[in-house]
Every structure is written in C-alpha cells, then in structure tokens.
A = this chain, B = another copy of it.
Amino acid sequence: MPSGKLLEEKGIKVTQARKEILEILETCTQPVSYENIKESISMDKATFYRNISKFEESNLINAIESHDKKRYFELKRKPHAHFTCRVCNQVECIKSGIYVTLQNYDIENVIIQGICPSCKLTNRLP
C-alpha cells in the first residue's frame, strides 16, 4: 500500500518525512532502529522519533526493546513473535506458530530472548 494512503486512513497528516519512514518500514523484513536507517534517510533524529511516537499512538507500528537499549520498529502486520539475541542484539521476526494467550490481558507482542543459531554455532558467547 502506498504510504500516503496508510497515513490518510489513520488521519495522520501526510508529510515527506512520514512517507520516508513508512517506506523504509515497508521495505524492511526485520525491525529497524534509528541507527539502522540514519544513513539511508535524510532526517533529523528528533523528527524521526517524534513521528515514531505518532505512529505508535495510532497503532501503526510495534516497538521492540533489545538488550542493547535501542528500540527497533516495524509496521504492525500479521501478529507474530520476535527473537532478540543477547549476544549479537539482532531482532528477528518469528513467523512460526507461537500462540500465547493470557486471560484478562491484552497481548500486543511476544519477545523471546536468548541466543540465536548463528551466535551459537560460531561460539560468539557472552
């Protein structure tokens, strides 16, 4: 979906900065931090974070906190879980069937922490 449409649907004013952020998020298959994209986007960090906040309020994106104290963002699409590796700090989407329910709670995201296969194999241990 064109990013302008997505914004209009949510009643968010369409600006260049907002379209750029959404286009990045639509392109990426994994959640990204500001650091990940600051090279490929011409935008001040204040603008980035202010717009991210707006997107969060409008329920457009998820934020995932990693061990490295950065926040990683993704478009809300199909619900799925995430894995964060405590060695390499990467955040990865886990599409395979993980279903969690908790009575009386609204569940918005599930984050699994541990060591990813690649770090296990190469013995990049903590």
Copies, count: 2
- A-B CB contact pairs (8 Å), 28 listed: A63-B67, A65-B66, A65-B67, A69-B69, A81-B100, A83-B102, A98-B100, A100-B100, A100-B110, A102-B112, A104-B117, A104-B120, A105-B112, A105-B114, A105-B115, A105-B117, A106-B115, A107-B112, A107-B113, A107-B114, A108-B113, A108-B114, A108-B115, A109-B112, A110-B111, A110-B113, A111-B111, A111-B113
State whether A112 and B113 are in contact (beta carbons under 8 Å apart), knowing that A65-B69, A104-B120, A120-B104 are contacts in the complex.
no
Q: B112 contacts A57, CB within 8 Å?
A: no
Residue of B nearest to A104 (CB): B117
User: How many residues on chain A are close to B (CB under 8 Å)?
Assistant: 30
Q: Check if A11 is an interface residue, CB within 8 A of chain B.
A: no
Q: Check if A17 is an interface residue, CB within 8 A of chain B.
A: no
Say which residue of B66, B83, B109, B115 sits within 8 Å of A113 (CB atoms): B109
Can you list, as one digit per residue, whether each of A42-54 has a CB less than 8 Å from chain B (1) or not (0)? 0000000000000
Shortest 8 CB-CB contacts between residues of A and residues of B? A104-B117, A106-B115, A65-B65, A108-B114, A109-B113, A107-B114, A111-B111, A106-B114
